[in-house]
Amino acid sequence: MDESSLPWIILLAPLVSVAVIVFLTQGSRTISAGVSILAVLVSFVASCLVFHAPDPAGVNQITWLDFPALHVPIGVTIDQLSKTMLIVVTGIGALIHIYSAGYMKGDDGESRYFAGLSLFMFSMLGIVLANNFVMMFIFWELVGVSSYVLIGHWFFRDAPPAAANKAFITNRIGDFGFMLGILMLWLATKSVVFTEIEKSLGVSKFENLNLTAATLLIFCGTIGKSAQFPLHVWLPDAMEGPTPVSALIHAATMVAAGVYMLARVFFLVQASPDAQWVIAFIGTITSLMAASMAIQQNDIKRILAYSTLSQLGYMVMAIGMLSKEAAMFHLFTHAFFKALLFLGAGAVIYGMHHEQDIWKMGGLGKKMPLTCATFAVGTLALIGCPGFSGHFSKEMILAAALSGSKWTFAAALATAFLTSFYMVRLFVVVFLGEPKTDAAKHGHDAPPVMALPLVILAIPSFLAGYGFFISHFVPLHGTEAPGFVSLFAFLAFASGAVMAVLLYRGKKEDPIHIGLLANKYYFDEIYAALIRWTQELLARQCGRFDRWVLDGLVRLLSGGTYAAGFALRSFQVGNLQAYAFLFGAGIVAFLWYVVSK
């Protein structure tokens, strides 16, 4: 087999799986699950082969649109960045697929679910491989629709489809900017292909203002997909989907796509200093804001969701500080431990018969020893405990923050402190102490098919930060954080953890109440009001205007017959002659005119 066809196998295997499930195996849940898992394994193996092969010299591509002014290929980019991402996406994706086989067992929509997972993999891999903006936008939108399908999996309840709509529409708002940015870049450089844009960036007549605007518009795509402030509101609601979906969306795929895209078009960020500043600012705000909201949430999945927001804010901030390595490093380690945490949360929810409130758990450490142990690894990695993967990548993020200003560094440190606090709070309340409900007393570990992915993910969650591991995936150029950064990072981690233990050990309910945080700064309420008073109001007024003014005018003008009404009631087949006459008359008039000339 030709090596150049490997990327296409990676990309198309999940698409084939979608087609097979939709057309053939819908009836059999087990076969559908098997097909989907097989497809992702094929992609994974092919990704490994690609990873070990040298970078191909040329790009093989097919042409999707071909005009003199606009040439859109569907082609692949294989470089260090995409290779690493391929391994992360397919590897973690495969584990989530396998885990899902256990988690979704007995669900009526299992076939649909696995078709959705495969569609998701296809879309995500398309983003990773894309070599031009239009192709990336295509798969970008497809990720949106596959997340819609998966979040709304339990469509017969009210909340999941609402959450799915919210996710899709919020993402489309981001895509609105993204597409506009693509158009601006194309107009200036006459190309949509990354390498060509990069080349012509130096020589084009691009004004500074335009470049900044285009970069920020492209960044809108990231704001939507990576759920950055102010478009972050969809992500917590997306928890309405099945838990493995949350793991998929949060760990390796959808939200990571935004950061990956920025890394892919890093040349744009480098070229526009003003945009860097905005990107760093948005990332910082998001990380701090989300971390503060997480400390007052009670739903185990939502706490993790806000944690994802916060960590993504870190990565975006690092990109804004021009530290692509730090962002990709953290994306890499975060993918493992966040997948582990979500799947662990899924195991807890599974063992608790779909209870998600942490205050109804407690003492699960004894009932679910394996889940507890792996969850502990994930937690320690996330809060940056020395020795665990997250520690290394977080230090690099903090070093990047320091390169900005003391304020960004302070904000990043505060985020680290809060992260440590809310995660230890979660762990203490769920796994330690006494069981708070009957369900917690009878909790049990998950079956092997779900436990295995937990164990496998725990390994890289611990190891991924060490040089011998990470150097294969993200070239770090031997950048070392200054010593005092490590010290501060350790202090933030330790103080957060200690405070959480002291505050929450043995507690039956939350000793602190901060309404503003528990209600997520009222973003949902503010947005709902905003929509009600702008879009809805406008829509209603337009609807009225159309009905009463525009249409009323028509009725007025069509006057006589209409108002009299007699004609309305006498509409019969017999009137055919009348219409025929009406139109015949028109044609005859035309002819008469022509002939009389």
Partner 1 sequence: MLNILILCPIVAAILALLGAPARPAALLASLINLVVALLALFQYDKTGPAFQFVSEFGILPEWRLTYLVGADGLSLLMLLLTAIVTFAAVWVTPAVARLEKQFYACLLFISAGAMGAFASVDLFFFYAFHELALIPTFLLIGIWGSGDRQSAAWKITIYLALGSFILLLGLIGLYQSVPVAARTFDIRALQELAAAGKIHPASANGVYLLLLIGFGILISLFPFHTWAPKAYASAPTPAAMLHAGVLKKFGLYGLLRVALPLLPDAARHWTHLLIILLIGNIIYIGLVTISQKRLDMMLGYSSVMHMGYIFLGIASLNTLGLNGAALLMFAHGLSIAALFAIAGQVGRRTETLAFEDLGGLAKPMPFLGFAFGLAAFASIGLPGFANFASEILVFFGAFQSHVAGSPFFGFRLATVLALWGVVISAVYMLRAYKAVFMGELPGRWSALPDLKFSLRLPIVLLLATLLFAGFCPRVFLAFLAPSVKAASFRETLS
Report CA-CA distances (Å) from 350 to 235, 242, 243, 379, 402: 22, 11, 9, 19, 42
Q: State how far Cα 294 lies from the chain centre.
A: 18
What the block records as the tokens of 50 is 């690609």
Q: Please state whether the peptide bond connecting residue 511 to the residue before it is cis, i.e. omega within 30 degrees of 0.
A: no
**Type of residue found at 296:** Q
Distance CA 55, CA 75 (A): 15
Which ranges of 21-57 does DSSP label H, i.e. alpha helix?
A: 29-52
Max CA distance (Å), the chain: 102
Choosing from 16, 183, 278, 414, the residue that interacts with partner 1 (CB under 8 A) is 183
Applying CB under 8 A, the span of 98-106, 156-164, 266-274, 316-324 interacting with partner 1 comes to 156-164
Choosing from 103, 139, 332, 388, the residue that interacts with partner 1 (CB under 8 A) is 139
If the CB atoms of residues 65 and 516 are measured against partner 1, the closer one turns out to be 65
In the region spanning residues 31 to 70, those forming contacts with partner 1, defined by CB under 8 A, are: 63-70
In the region spanning residues 540 to 569, those forming contacts with partner 1, defined by CB under 8 A, are: 540, 542-543, 546, 550-551, 554, 558, 561-562, 567-569
Q: Report if residue 24 touches partner 1, rule: CB under 8 A.
A: no
Q: Provide, rounded to whole angstroms, the least separation between the CB of residue 544 and partner 1.
A: 8
Choosing from 28, 61, 165, 204, the residue that interacts with partner 1 (CB under 8 A) is 165
Q: Report if residue 432 touches partner 1, rule: CB under 8 A.
A: no
Distance CA 14, CA 88 (A): 16
Half-sphere exposure for 105 (CA within 13 Å, toward CB): 10
Nearest to 403 by CA among 292, 317, 283, 309: 317
Choosing from 24, 53, 187, 556, the residue that interacts with partner 1 (CB under 8 A) is 187
If the CB atoms of residues 208 and 575 are measured against partner 1, the closer one turns out to be 575
Identify whether the C-beta of residue 87 lies closer than 8 Å to the C-beta of residue 45.
no
If the CB atoms of residues 108 and 525 are measured against partner 1, the closer one turns out to be 108
If the CB atoms of residues 173 and 370 are measured against partner 1, the closer one turns out to be 173
In the region spanning residues 246 to 305, those forming contacts with partner 1, defined by CB under 8 A, are: none
Residue located via tokens 């050990």:
505
Applying CB under 8 A, the span of 174-182, 207-215, 244-252, 307-315 interacting with partner 1 comes to 174-182
Applying CB under 8 A, the span of 179-187, 316-324, 408-416, 460-468 interacting with partner 1 comes to 179-187
In the region spanning residues 68 to 97, those forming contacts with partner 1, defined by CB under 8 A, are: 68-70
Applying CB under 8 A, the span of 2-10, 51-59, 401-409, 586-594 interacting with partner 1 comes to 586-594
How many chain residues bind partner 1 (CB under 8 A)?
71
Q: Provide, rounded to whole angstroms, the least separation between the CB of residue 136 and partner 1.
A: 11
In the region spanning residues 98 to 137, those forming contacts with partner 1, defined by CB under 8 A, are: 134, 137
If the CB atoms of residues 514 and 588 are measured against partner 1, the closer one turns out to be 588
Distance CA 202, CA 29 (A): 54
Q: Provide, rounded to whole angstroms, the least separation between the CB of residue 337 and partner 1.
A: 32
Which ranges of 383-504 does DSSP label H, i.e. alpha helix?
A: 389-404, 406-431, 438-441, 448-463, 467-470, 483-504
**Type of residue found at 505:** R
Q: Provide, rounded to whole angstroms, the least separation between the CB of residue 551 and partner 1.
A: 4
Choosing from 16, 34, 59, 176, the residue that interacts with partner 1 (CB under 8 A) is 176
If the CB atoms of residues 57 and 582 are measured against partner 1, the closer one turns out to be 582
Distance CA 196, CA 132 (A): 9
Q: Provide, rounded to whole angstroms, the least separation between the CB of residue 109 and partner 1.
A: 9
61 strand-pairing partners: 75
- Any idea what DSSP says for residue 574? G
Map residues 503-542 to x or -, x wherever contact with partner 1 holds by CB under 8 A: --------------------------------xx-xxx-x
Identify whether the C-beta of residue 180 lies closer than 8 Å to the C-beta of residue 217.
yes
Torsion region of 235: left, alpha or beta (phi above 0 gives left; psi -120 to 50 gives alpha): alpha
Q: Report if residue 152 touches partner 1, rule: CB under 8 A.
A: yes
Choosing from 468, 484, 566, 579, the residue that interacts with partner 1 (CB under 8 A) is 579
If the CB atoms of residues 441 and 544 are measured against partner 1, the closer one turns out to be 544
Nearest to 74 by CA among 148, 126, 122, 21: 126
Residues belonging to the chain: 597
If the CB atoms of residues 448 and 552 are measured against partner 1, the closer one turns out to be 552
What the block records as the tokens of 574 is 């017999």
Q: Provide, rounded to whole angstroms, the least separation between the CB of residue 157 and partner 1.
A: 7
Number of Cβ within 10 Å of residue 203's Cβ equals: 8
